Amino acid sequence: MEAEIETARELATHAADIKHLQDDMDKLMSDMEDIKKSLQAISTTLSEAKGGWKMLMLIGGASGTVGAVIMQIIHSIPSWK
């Protein structure tokens, strides 16, 4: 009879441990879903930023070209005497 009581106690202890482990796994799964959503948001933001950088580089290159053309024209005009 004592062995049966001990076995029942051990089973109850294991059941409680399993319940705690299952709760921890559920929390981890929830956290992983949140991390996936955050990574997707970061990826979207970086994609948008990449397009913005390309536009800034285009504007900077065009401005540099226009400035160089203006300076070339100024230097090709004969001296102002």
What pLDDT does 41 receive?
92
pTM: 0.52
User: Going along 1-81, which residue ranges are E strands?
Assistant: none
Q: What span, in angstroms and rounded, lies between the C-alpha atoms of 75 and 7?
A: 99
pLDDT tens, residue order, the chain (81 aa): 788 888 888 888 988 889 999 999 999 999 999 999 999 999 888 887 777 888 889 999 999 999 999 999 888 887 655
What pLDDT does 52 receive?
80
